[in-house]
Structure 1
Amino acid sequence: MSSPHQSVPPAKSSHTSDEGSATGGSEAKVIRIPQTTYIGVVVLFFCVFFFFAGWPIGLWWLLLIPLAAVFWIERTHTKVSDAGLDLRTVFGKRHIDWDELKGVSIPKRGYVRAHLTDDSEVKLPAVGYDRLRALIDASEGRIPDLFAAAEEAEQQAYEERKAAEKAEQTDDTAD
Protein backbone atom coordinates (compact mmCIF):
# COMPACT_ATOMS: atom_id res chain seq x y z
CA MET A 1 0.00 0.00 0.00
CA SER A 2 1.43 3.35 -0.99
CA SER A 3 1.57 6.40 1.19
CA PRO A 4 -0.84 9.25 0.37
CA HIS A 5 2.20 11.56 0.36
CA GLN A 6 3.99 9.67 -2.39
CA SER A 7 3.70 11.08 -5.83
CA VAL A 8 4.33 9.18 -8.99
CA PRO A 9 5.26 11.24 -12.04
CA PRO A 10 3.19 10.65 -15.16
CA ALA A 11 4.67 8.47 -17.86
CA LYS A 12 4.70 11.39 -20.30
CA SER A 13 4.07 15.02 -19.53
CA SER A 14 1.99 17.13 -21.85
CA HIS A 15 4.06 20.21 -21.01
CA THR A 16 7.45 19.12 -22.34
CA SER A 17 8.61 17.89 -25.69
CA ASP A 18 10.44 14.64 -26.30
CA GLU A 19 13.61 16.45 -27.40
CA GLY A 20 14.30 18.24 -24.12
CA SER A 21 13.13 21.50 -22.64
CA ALA A 22 10.37 23.72 -23.93
CA THR A 23 12.90 25.93 -25.71
CA GLY A 24 13.99 23.07 -27.90
CA GLY A 25 17.54 22.70 -26.53
CA SER A 26 19.12 21.09 -23.55
CA GLU A 27 19.63 22.94 -20.30
CA ALA A 28 22.90 24.67 -19.55
CA LYS A 29 25.30 22.85 -17.25
CA VAL A 30 27.02 25.01 -14.65
CA ILE A 31 30.40 23.91 -13.33
CA ARG A 32 31.16 25.54 -9.99
CA ILE A 33 33.90 25.44 -7.39
CA PRO A 34 33.17 22.45 -5.10
CA GLN A 35 31.02 23.18 -2.08
CA THR A 36 33.61 21.57 0.21
CA THR A 37 35.63 24.75 -0.25
CA TYR A 38 33.37 26.31 2.37
CA ILE A 39 35.18 24.20 4.98
CA GLY A 40 38.30 26.22 4.21
CA VAL A 41 36.30 29.43 4.58
CA VAL A 42 35.14 28.36 8.05
CA VAL A 43 38.74 27.60 9.07
CA LEU A 44 39.82 30.97 7.65
CA PHE A 45 37.06 32.70 9.60
CA PHE A 46 38.19 31.17 12.90
CA CYS A 47 41.83 32.10 12.20
CA VAL A 48 40.85 35.69 11.47
CA PHE A 49 38.33 35.89 14.30
CA PHE A 50 40.93 35.37 17.03
CA PHE A 51 42.88 38.40 15.84
CA PHE A 52 39.65 40.40 15.53
CA ALA A 53 38.64 39.45 19.09
CA GLY A 54 41.96 40.82 20.36
CA TRP A 55 41.48 44.31 18.88
CA PRO A 56 38.02 44.68 17.26
CA ILE A 57 38.29 48.41 16.54
CA GLY A 58 41.56 48.08 14.62
CA LEU A 59 41.14 44.68 12.99
CA TRP A 60 37.48 44.64 11.94
CA TRP A 61 38.59 44.60 8.30
CA LEU A 62 40.03 41.09 8.73
CA LEU A 63 36.46 39.74 8.76
CA LEU A 64 36.16 40.89 5.14
CA ILE A 65 38.65 38.22 4.02
CA PRO A 66 36.30 35.23 4.60
CA LEU A 67 33.46 37.23 3.02
CA ALA A 68 35.60 37.83 -0.05
CA ALA A 69 36.34 34.09 -0.20
CA VAL A 70 32.60 33.29 -0.12
CA PHE A 71 31.98 35.86 -2.84
CA TRP A 72 34.71 34.24 -4.97
CA ILE A 73 33.27 30.74 -4.47
CA GLU A 74 29.74 31.82 -5.36
CA ARG A 75 30.63 33.95 -8.36
CA THR A 76 33.25 31.83 -10.14
CA HIS A 77 31.77 29.31 -12.59
CA THR A 78 31.71 28.07 -16.16
CA LYS A 79 28.35 27.58 -17.85
CA VAL A 80 28.15 25.19 -20.81
CA SER A 81 25.14 25.66 -23.11
CA ASP A 82 24.13 25.21 -26.73
CA ALA A 83 25.28 28.80 -27.39
CA GLY A 84 28.81 28.19 -26.07
CA LEU A 85 30.74 28.74 -22.87
CA ASP A 86 29.90 31.51 -20.41
CA LEU A 87 32.85 32.19 -18.12
CA ARG A 88 32.28 34.12 -14.89
CA THR A 89 35.01 35.34 -12.55
CA VAL A 90 34.86 37.72 -9.60
CA PHE A 91 35.45 40.82 -11.69
CA GLY A 92 34.30 39.86 -15.16
CA LYS A 93 32.52 37.58 -17.55
CA ARG A 94 33.07 36.35 -21.07
CA HIS A 95 31.14 34.38 -23.66
CA ILE A 96 32.85 32.00 -26.08
CA ASP A 97 30.89 30.60 -29.01
CA TRP A 98 31.51 27.00 -29.98
CA ASP A 99 32.93 28.00 -33.36
CA GLU A 100 35.60 30.11 -31.57
CA LEU A 101 36.82 27.10 -29.57
CA LYS A 102 39.72 25.15 -31.05
CA GLY A 103 40.46 22.84 -28.09
CA VAL A 104 41.33 22.57 -24.42
CA SER A 105 44.57 21.90 -22.56
CA ILE A 106 45.30 20.68 -19.07
CA PRO A 107 48.08 22.57 -17.29
CA LYS A 108 50.02 21.08 -14.38
CA ARG A 109 48.39 23.58 -12.01
CA GLY A 110 45.34 25.77 -12.22
CA TYR A 111 42.24 25.71 -14.34
CA VAL A 112 41.80 24.00 -17.69
CA ARG A 113 42.52 26.35 -20.58
CA ALA A 114 40.50 26.82 -23.74
CA HIS A 115 42.40 27.46 -26.96
CA LEU A 116 40.57 29.80 -29.31
CA THR A 117 40.71 30.12 -33.09
CA ASP A 118 42.58 33.46 -32.80
CA ASP A 119 45.46 31.56 -31.09
CA SER A 120 44.67 32.99 -27.66
CA GLU A 121 44.17 31.08 -24.43
CA VAL A 122 41.45 31.52 -21.82
CA LYS A 123 41.23 29.92 -18.38
CA LEU A 124 37.96 28.13 -17.72
CA PRO A 125 36.96 29.16 -14.19
CA ALA A 126 36.16 26.29 -11.79
CA VAL A 127 37.19 23.64 -14.35
CA GLY A 128 40.20 21.75 -13.05
CA TYR A 129 41.34 18.30 -14.06
CA ASP A 130 38.82 16.77 -11.67
CA ARG A 131 35.92 18.63 -13.38
CA LEU A 132 37.08 18.03 -16.96
CA ARG A 133 34.78 15.02 -17.41
CA ALA A 134 31.76 17.20 -16.53
CA LEU A 135 32.86 19.78 -19.10
CA ILE A 136 33.28 17.17 -21.83
CA ASP A 137 29.91 15.58 -21.07
CA ALA A 138 28.13 18.94 -20.95
CA SER A 139 29.60 19.99 -24.29
CA GLU A 140 27.70 17.13 -25.98
CA GLY A 141 30.59 16.20 -28.27
CA ARG A 142 31.76 19.72 -29.10
CA ILE A 143 34.87 19.17 -26.98
CA PRO A 144 36.57 15.87 -27.85
CA ASP A 145 36.66 13.26 -25.11
CA LEU A 146 40.31 13.30 -24.03
CA PHE A 147 39.83 10.31 -21.76
CA ALA A 148 38.39 8.13 -24.53
CA ALA A 149 41.26 9.12 -26.85
CA ALA A 150 43.80 8.13 -24.19
CA GLU A 151 42.05 4.80 -23.58
CA GLU A 152 41.91 4.16 -27.32
CA ALA A 153 45.64 4.90 -27.67
CA GLU A 154 46.42 2.57 -24.75
CA GLN A 155 44.29 -0.18 -26.30
CA GLN A 156 46.01 0.24 -29.66
CA ALA A 157 49.47 0.13 -28.05
CA TYR A 158 48.46 -3.01 -26.15
CA GLU A 159 47.25 -4.70 -29.34
CA GLU A 160 50.45 -3.73 -31.18
CA ARG A 161 52.55 -5.08 -28.32
CA LYS A 162 50.61 -8.38 -28.34
CA ALA A 163 50.99 -8.66 -32.13
CA ALA A 164 54.74 -8.03 -31.83
CA GLU A 165 55.04 -10.67 -29.09
CA LYS A 166 53.06 -13.14 -31.19
CA ALA A 167 55.25 -12.43 -34.24
CA GLU A 168 58.36 -12.88 -32.08
CA GLN A 169 57.07 -16.23 -30.78
CA THR A 170 56.35 -17.48 -34.32
CA ASP A 171 59.85 -16.40 -35.38
CA ASP A 172 61.36 -18.30 -32.45
CA THR A 173 59.40 -21.48 -33.25
CA ALA A 174 60.36 -21.24 -36.94
CA ASP A 175 64.09 -21.22 -36.10
Structure 2
Amino acid sequence: MSAPFTAPLPESTPKDRALFRVNPMSYLVIGIVVMAILWPVTAYPATLGWLVLLPIGFGWWVARTNTRLDEDGVHLTTWRTRRSVPWVEVKGVMFPKNGFARLITTSEDSYPMGGVSFHDLPRLSEASRGRIRDPYDAS
Protein backbone atom coordinates (compact mmCIF):
# COMPACT_ATOMS: atom_id res chain seq x y z
CA MET A 1 0.00 0.00 0.00
CA SER A 2 1.20 3.45 -0.76
CA ALA A 3 0.57 6.69 1.08
CA PRO A 4 -2.12 9.01 -0.29
CA PHE A 5 -0.88 11.60 -2.75
CA THR A 6 -0.30 15.10 -1.40
CA ALA A 7 0.62 17.88 -3.78
CA PRO A 8 4.03 19.39 -3.09
CA LEU A 9 4.20 22.97 -1.95
CA PRO A 10 5.82 25.32 -4.44
CA GLU A 11 9.24 26.65 -3.50
CA SER A 12 7.80 30.16 -3.27
CA THR A 13 5.43 29.15 -0.46
CA PRO A 14 6.47 31.07 2.67
CA LYS A 15 7.27 29.24 5.89
CA ASP A 16 4.89 31.52 7.84
CA ARG A 17 1.58 30.66 6.16
CA ALA A 18 -0.26 33.45 8.01
CA LEU A 19 1.95 36.25 6.67
CA PHE A 20 1.20 37.73 3.26
CA ARG A 21 3.79 40.03 1.69
CA VAL A 22 4.24 41.82 -1.61
CA ASN A 23 5.97 39.57 -4.15
CA PRO A 24 9.75 39.78 -3.54
CA MET A 25 10.30 39.91 -7.31
CA SER A 26 9.39 43.58 -6.91
CA TYR A 27 12.95 44.15 -5.74
CA LEU A 28 14.06 43.18 -9.26
CA VAL A 29 11.95 46.06 -10.59
CA ILE A 30 13.74 48.37 -8.16
CA GLY A 31 17.09 47.20 -9.53
CA ILE A 32 15.92 47.84 -13.09
CA VAL A 33 14.75 51.35 -12.17
CA VAL A 34 18.10 52.06 -10.52
CA MET A 35 19.90 50.95 -13.68
CA ALA A 36 17.57 53.07 -15.83
CA ILE A 37 18.14 56.27 -13.85
CA LEU A 38 21.86 55.73 -13.28
CA TRP A 39 23.08 57.56 -16.38
CA PRO A 40 20.70 60.59 -16.22
CA VAL A 41 21.32 61.12 -12.50
CA THR A 42 25.11 60.94 -12.83
CA ALA A 43 25.04 63.22 -15.90
CA TYR A 44 22.78 65.88 -14.35
CA PRO A 45 22.86 65.37 -10.56
CA ALA A 46 21.59 68.86 -9.71
CA THR A 47 18.41 68.60 -11.76
CA LEU A 48 17.71 64.84 -11.74
CA GLY A 49 19.07 63.84 -8.35
CA TRP A 50 15.54 63.56 -6.97
CA LEU A 51 14.97 60.47 -9.17
CA VAL A 52 16.96 58.46 -6.62
CA LEU A 53 13.97 58.83 -4.28
CA LEU A 54 11.73 56.74 -6.59
CA PRO A 55 13.42 53.34 -6.08
CA ILE A 56 13.99 54.13 -2.39
CA GLY A 57 10.27 54.88 -1.93
CA PHE A 58 9.21 51.80 -3.86
CA GLY A 59 11.59 49.65 -1.79
CA TRP A 60 10.12 51.09 1.41
CA TRP A 61 6.61 50.24 0.18
CA VAL A 62 7.56 46.65 -0.75
CA ALA A 63 9.34 46.08 2.57
CA ARG A 64 6.55 47.49 4.76
CA THR A 65 3.33 46.31 3.09
CA ASN A 66 1.99 43.05 4.53
CA THR A 67 -0.99 41.30 6.09
CA ARG A 68 -0.80 38.91 9.06
CA LEU A 69 -3.60 36.71 10.40
CA ASP A 70 -3.61 35.26 13.92
CA GLU A 71 -6.08 34.33 16.66
CA ASP A 72 -6.67 37.99 17.55
CA GLY A 73 -7.64 39.10 14.05
CA VAL A 74 -6.20 40.58 10.90
CA HIS A 75 -3.19 42.90 11.17
CA LEU A 76 -2.70 45.19 8.17
CA THR A 77 0.52 47.12 7.62
CA THR A 78 0.97 49.66 4.85
CA TRP A 79 3.88 51.96 4.16
CA ARG A 80 2.44 54.54 6.54
CA THR A 81 -0.05 52.87 8.93
CA ARG A 82 -0.66 49.77 11.00
CA ARG A 83 -4.17 48.60 11.74
CA SER A 84 -5.58 45.59 13.57
CA VAL A 85 -9.11 44.35 12.97
CA PRO A 86 -10.51 41.77 15.42
CA TRP A 87 -12.32 38.77 13.95
CA VAL A 88 -15.70 39.91 15.32
CA GLU A 89 -15.47 43.01 13.09
CA VAL A 90 -14.49 41.13 9.90
CA LYS A 91 -17.38 40.83 7.46
CA GLY A 92 -15.49 39.47 4.46
CA VAL A 93 -12.91 39.98 1.77
CA MET A 94 -13.40 41.68 -1.58
CA PHE A 95 -11.16 41.09 -4.58
CA PRO A 96 -11.18 44.15 -6.85
CA LYS A 97 -10.23 43.86 -10.50
CA ASN A 98 -6.85 45.52 -9.89
CA GLY A 99 -4.69 45.58 -6.81
CA PHE A 100 -4.70 43.69 -3.55
CA ALA A 101 -7.68 42.21 -1.73
CA ARG A 102 -9.69 44.48 0.55
CA LEU A 103 -10.92 43.59 4.02
CA ILE A 104 -14.55 44.57 4.63
CA THR A 105 -15.61 45.22 8.24
CA THR A 106 -19.05 45.07 9.82
CA SER A 107 -19.14 48.89 9.73
CA GLU A 108 -18.67 48.67 5.91
CA ASP A 109 -15.14 50.10 6.08
CA SER A 110 -12.70 48.76 3.50
CA TYR A 111 -8.97 48.30 4.13
CA PRO A 112 -6.32 47.09 1.66
CA MET A 113 -4.81 43.71 2.50
CA GLY A 114 -1.25 44.17 1.24
CA GLY A 115 0.22 41.08 -0.35
CA VAL A 116 -3.11 39.20 -0.63
CA SER A 117 -4.42 38.45 -4.11
CA PHE A 118 -7.09 36.11 -5.44
CA HIS A 119 -4.70 33.18 -5.88
CA ASP A 120 -3.93 33.40 -2.12
CA LEU A 121 -7.54 32.52 -1.21
CA PRO A 122 -6.85 28.89 -0.16
CA ARG A 123 -3.91 29.98 2.01
CA LEU A 124 -5.99 32.86 3.40
CA SER A 125 -8.76 30.44 4.37
CA GLU A 126 -6.27 28.10 6.02
CA ALA A 127 -4.53 30.91 7.93
CA SER A 128 -7.86 32.28 9.19
CA ARG A 129 -8.93 28.78 10.30
CA GLY A 130 -12.03 28.96 8.11
CA ARG A 131 -13.17 32.40 9.24
CA ILE A 132 -12.56 33.58 5.69
CA ARG A 133 -14.06 30.87 3.56
CA ASP A 134 -12.61 29.55 0.31
CA PRO A 135 -15.64 29.17 -1.99
CA TYR A 136 -13.72 26.79 -4.27
CA ASP A 137 -12.77 24.34 -1.52
CA ALA A 138 -14.31 20.91 -2.17
CA SER A 139 -14.88 20.17 1.52
TM-score band, normalised by shorter chain: 0.7 to 0.9
What is residue 123 of structure 1 aligned with on the other side?
A: 112
Return the offset for 1:126: 1.5
Check whether the contact 2:121–2:134 (CA below 8 A) recurs between aligned residues: no
| Alpha-carbon distance in 1 for matches of 2:84, 2:69 | 10
Return the offset for 1:72: 0.5
Matched residue type, 1:144:
R
Check whether the contact 2:95–2:102 (CA below 8 A) recurs between aligned residues: yes
What runs of 5+ residues in structure 1 fail to find an aligned partner? 1-26, 153-175
**Counterpart check, 1:48 vs 2:40:** no
Give TM-score, length-normalised by structure 1.
0.65
Greater than 6 Å deviation, 4+ residue runs: none
What is residue 65 of structure 1 aligned with on the other side?
A: 54
**Counterpart check, 1:84 vs 2:73:** yes
- Three-state SS of the structure 2 residue aligned to 1:147 is coil
Return the offset for 1:131: 2.5
Q: Report sequence identity in percent.
A: 28
**May I ask how many residue pairs the two structures share in their alignment?**
124
Where is the strand percentage greater, Structure 1 or Structure 2? 2
Return the offset for 1:111: 1.2
Return the offset for 1:93: 1.2
Larger radius of gyration: 1
What is residue 11 of structure 2 aligned with on the other side?
A: none
Check whether the contact 2:17–2:123 (CA below 8 A) recurs between aligned residues: no
Give TM-score, length-normalised by structure 2.
0.81
**Counterpart check, 1:140 vs 2:122:** no
**Counterpart check, 1:38 vs 2:27:** yes
Return the offset for 1:102: 1.1
Check whether the contact 1:87–1:93 (CA below 8 A) recurs between aligned residues: yes
| Alpha-carbon distance in 1 for matches of 2:62, 2:77 | 11
Where is the helix percentage greater, Structure 1 or Structure 2? 1
| Alpha-carbon distance in 2 for matches of 1:121, 1:56 | 42
Q: 1:97/1:42 Cα in 2 relative to 1: closer, same or farther (>3 Å)?
A: same
What is residue 109 of structure 1 aligned with on the other side?
A: 98
